[in-house]
Structure 1
Amino acid sequence: MATAEQIKALVKHFIDEDEQRFVTVALQVADKEAKKGHFKLADDLRRLVHTKRTSPGKTVVSRGVSAVSRRSHRQNNIDIDSLLHLSQADTRINEVVLSEQCQVRIERIIMEHRLKDKLAEYALSPRRKILLCGPPGTGKTLTAKVLATELKLPLYTLQFDGLISRYLGETAGKLRAVFDQIAKSRAVYLFDEFDAIGAHRNSPNDVGEVRRVLNSFLKFFEDDSSESLIVCATNHPDILDKALFRRFDDIIEFSKPSWPEAERFIKNRLFLFDLRELELDPLKTLVEGMSYADLGQACDDAAKNCVMYHDGKMDVPLLAEALKLRSI
C-alpha cells in the first residue's frame, strides 16, 4: 500500500488544493502497487484518477486554475489532455549515471529552482528553458524525470501525434493552448523529439504549415515568462533551426557512456546482486558504443538469467553474453 510519506503528501496536496501534485502522487502509488503485482488495485487507482480528470466540470482536488484552463480549452475545441500526457516521475539525481558535465549542469538547474526566491531578491531567475541533445538512450528523457522528481513538480510530455494537424492553422492553435497551460500550471513540460517541430525553415522537405508551426513556437517560446520548466530533447541538434539555440537558457549535450561511467551504471543497475568479487574490466570492449538504454537492457537480461538458471549468483560470463546479444 501507499507509504506514510505518500499518504501525507496526498492529504497535504488535497488541503492545498494542488490538483497536479495530488494526481502525480496518486499515480506513483498506482505504479508502486503494480510493481508489487497488485495489478487490479493499480488499474482501479489509475481509472479513478483518469475518470476524475476527464469528467466535465470536475477535478481531483479543486476548481481553481487547472479547472478553468481545461474549460477554456474545451470551449476552443481543444482538448489539452490529448496534447499533454502526465508521466511518472520518481527518479532522483543520485540514482542516475551521467557524465560529470551533465551531472553538474543538471544539479545547477535544480539548485537554482530551489533557491529561486533568493535569486529573485537580486532580480535573477533560474534556468527554465533547457535543450537536451544527444544520441538515443543517453539519458535525455530521464533527465526530465529527475528535474520533476527533485523539484516535486508534475511531468507532462507533449504528444506530437495530437499536436500536428493537416488543417491550416490548427496546429498553431493547439500550440497556443499548450503554452497557456504552461503559464497557468507550474510543472516540467517535456517536448521530446523536438526536431519534429524545430527543424530549420530552409529544409528541402519543408512545407508551409511546418514553417508556420515553427514560427508560432518561436513566438510562444520567447514570450513565455511562466515558472514552469520547458525541456526540449532531440537526437538531431544539427537539423534544428539556428534561431532556436539563442532562446534556450541552457544547452546540455549527452553522450554514450565512457567505460568508467558504464562500469558504475552496471553496478548501480545490479545492486541487488553481489558483484564485490567480480572483475568487470573484460567487459570494457563489449560496452564500447552502447547507450545507457542498451546497457540497462543487457543488465536486466543478465539478471533474469542469473535468477532463473544460476541461483542468483552473478558472474562476468553472464554479463558478457547479455552484452553481446544487445550489441548485435
Structure 2
Amino acid sequence: MAGLGEHITAMVRSHAAGDDAAFYAVALQVAAREAKSGHHVLASDIKKAVDLSRDRAPAGNVTKLVQPRGDLAELVEAAHPEVHLRELVAPAELVAEIKQVLAEQRQRKNLLNHGFAPAHRLLLEGPPGTGKTMTAAVLATELSLPMFTIRLDSLLSKFMGETASKLRLVFESVAQRRAVYLFDEFDALGADRSGNDVGEARRILNSFLVFLEEASPESLVLAATNHRAILDKALFRRFDAVLTYALPDARQAASVIRARLGSLATGTSMAKLGDHTGGLSHAELVKAAETAAKTVLMRGEAHVNRDDLITALTARRTASLG
C-alpha cells in the first residue's frame, strides 16, 4: 500500500498545483500498477477516464497555462513565456553564461548521477530594464518550463509576520514542480541591514538562505536585483552563479531597436546613434522604437526614418532623466 499511498499523494499535489499533465501521468502509473496486480478491469477504467478527461480539454489549448492554487496563488504569478535566447541582446560573455546554465540543466540527470548538481540558483544583478526578467523568460522557454514570479516587496508588505512560512510554501513548490522561479525585486529581502532594522527582516533573510541552500536542482531559482551593492554579502556564496547586466552599448542599442521595429527599420540608418541611445536601458530603447513606429504608421508611411528615431530617443532620455 505504500506505493499506492505515494501515488495518491503525488496526484493530490499535482491537482492542487493545477498540473493536469502530472496528474494524468500519475493516474496512468496507478493503472499500470493495477494491471500488473491482475486488476485489469480497474486498470482499463482508469485509462478510459484519463482519455475521456483529456478529450474534454478546451479545443486549441495545446499548452494549458499552469496556475497555482491555494495559498500559493497569493504568492506567485504564473506564465508560459515564449522568448528565445536569440532574442536576448546581451554581451557575448553573458550569453555564454546563460548557455552554460541551459546546457547543465539539459544534462542535469547525467550530472546528478555523478554527484554534481547543475547550476540552478542564479543571482541576476544590474540596472532596471537590462534583461534580467527576460533572461528568466528565456530559460523557461528554452527548457519548456513554466515560469513563476514572486514579487518580494509585496510578499513582505502583505504577509509581514508570516513571510518565512510563505517562503517555505514557495520552496516546497520548487521541490515538487520543475519550473523557473523568479524572485523579483530581491532588494526588498536581501538588503544588508544593520541597527534597529534586524529582527524580523534578519529572520526572513536567514530563512530564505536555508531554503535556497536546500533548493531542489530540478528547478531554477533566480533572484533579480537592481542594487548589488546593498545586498547582504552572505547571499553571494549561496548562488551557483551571478549574472551581471549593464546598459547596452551603441551596437547593442541598434540591435534592440532594429529587433523591435522589424520591417519598419528597412533602410533606416542607425550609424552614430550612440549620442542618443547612451544611458538608456533595453526596455527604454524598446519604448522609444515603439513610439517612432506608431508615429510613422499613423502618418501612413511604411518605414521609420532616422529623424523619427532621434526624436523618440530624445524624448525617452528626457523622461528617464526627469
Does the TM-score normalized on the shorter chain lie above 0.5? yes
State the partner residue of 2:268: 278
Deviation at 1:201, TM superposition (A): 3.4
Deviation at 1:99, TM superposition (A): 1.4
Match of 1:141 among 133, 142, 151: 133
CA deviation map 1:8-31 (0-9, x unaligned): xx997785479xxx9xxx9x9699
Q: 1:13 to 1:273 in 2, by over 3 A?
A: farther
In structure 2, give the amino acid aligned to 1:215: N
Instruction: Give, in whole Å, the separation in 2 of the partners of 1:133 and 1:80.
Output: 26
Residue 304 (str. 1) matches residue 289 (str. 2):
no
Instruction: Give, in whole Å, the separation in 1 of the partners of 2:246 and 2:160.
Output: 38
Deviation at 1:260, TM superposition (A): 1.1
Match of 1:110 among 102, 108, 115: 102
Residue 288 (str. 1) matches residue 273 (str. 2):
no
State the partner residue of 1:64: none
CA contact (8 A) 2:75 2:155 kept: yes
User: What does 1:127-206 correspond to in 2, within 5 Å?
Assistant: 127-160=119-152, 163-164=155-156, 169-202=161-194, 204=195, 206=197
State the partner residue of 2:11: none
Deviation at 1:162, TM superposition (A): 5.1
Query: What's the TM-score, normalizing by structure 2?
Result: 0.76
Deviation at 1:88, TM superposition (A): 4.0
Q: 1:279 to 1:205 in 2, by over 3 A?
A: farther
Instruction: Give, in whole Å, the separation in 2 of the partners of 1:261 and 1:112.
Output: 27
Pairwise CA RMSD of aligned residues?
A: 2.9
Residue 314 (str. 1) matches residue 304 (str. 2):
yes
Percent same amino acid among aligned pairs? 41
How many equivalent residue pairs? Answer: 270
Q: 1:200 to 1:272 in 2, by over 3 A?
A: same
Query: What's the TM-score, normalizing by structure 1?
Result: 0.75
CA contact (8 A) 2:130 2:246 kept: yes
Q: 1:290 to 1:175 in 2, by over 3 A?
A: same
State the partner residue of 2:43: none
Rg bigger for which structure? 2
| Unmatched runs of 5 consecutive residues or more in structure 1 | 1-9, 32-44, 55-69, 71-78
| Unmatched runs of 5 consecutive residues or more in structure 2 | 1-18, 28-53
Deviation at 1:232, TM superposition (A): 0.3
Instruction: Give, in whole Å, the separation in 2 of the partners of 1:161 and 1:291.
Output: 23
Instruction: Give, in whole Å, the separation in 2 of the partners of 1:165 and 1:265.
Output: 35
State the partner residue of 1:250: 241
Instruction: Give, in whole Å, the separation in 2 of the partners of 1:85 and 1:11.
Output: 18
CA deviation map 1:85-122 (0-9, x unaligned): 10241100011211112111111111111122232343
> Secondary structure at the residue paired with 1:270?
helix
Q: 1:265 to 1:13 in 2, by over 3 A?
A: farther
Match of 2:206 among 215, 230, 237: 215
